[in-house]
């Protein structure tokens, strides 16, 4: 198994979105089979979109399946989170299409910054990303706290 199959996402890449909300994934982040709907895009409470590759989707699936139907708090989080989520694959040019709801969540316009986090990557509005890094945010919002409690 080559590195491309191990889902290692490092570095920062600046790309432009086209009129159809398509964005190119860096070639070093692509792998065989990524043209199928294998990526999961989730709205991150910090203001970006977090992208999970298949390996991480499997781990996430186990955690989500462990949330009991009677866990009202957990079910509410799942409803909020996954109602805004999307799945996608890359086209032949290595582009993905960002769902309108997710693009709005991350305040994406023409420019986007893809930021590796080793096992996942995030898509940011570049200005928001630089503000996020410069800010000393110590408070987490309610969604962040709840996701953390669930181990997501």
pLDDT digits (tens), the chain, 152 positions: 333 456 689 999 999 999 999 999 998 898 777 777 788 999 999 999 999 988 888 888 888 999 999 999 889 989 988 999 999 988 889 999 999 999 999 999 999 999 999 999 999 999 999 998 888 655 556 667 767 766 66
Q: What is the pLDDT of residue 1?
A: 35
Break the chain into its structural domains and give their ranges.
3-149
pTM score above 0.85:
no
Q: Give all strands (DSSP E) within the chain, no chain letters.
A: 12-16, 22-24, 39-44, 48-52, 86-88, 95-97, 111-116, 121-124
Fold designation for 3-149:
Chemotaxis protein chec (3.40.1550)
The whole-angstrom separation of Cα 21 and Cα 35 is 17
């Amino acid at each position: 198994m080559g590195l491309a199959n191990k889902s290692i996402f490092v570095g920062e890449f600046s790309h432009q979105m086209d009129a159809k909300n398509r964005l190119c994934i860096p070639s070093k982040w692509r792998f065989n089979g990524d043209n199928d709907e294998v990526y999961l895009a989730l709205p991150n409470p910090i203001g970006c979109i977090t992208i999970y590759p298949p390996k991480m989707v499997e781990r996430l699936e186990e955690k989500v399946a462990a949330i009991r139907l009677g866990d009202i708090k957990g079910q509410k989080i799942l409803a909020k989170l996954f109602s805004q989520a999307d799945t996608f694959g890359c086209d032949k040019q290595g582009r993905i299409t960002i769902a309108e709801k997710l693009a709005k969540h991350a305040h994406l316009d023409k420019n986007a910054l893809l930021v590796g986090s080793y096992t996942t990557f995030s898509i940011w509005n570049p200005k928001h990303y630089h503000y996020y890094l410069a800010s000393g945010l110590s408070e987490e919002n309610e969604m962040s706290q709840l996701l953390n409690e669930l181990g997501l």
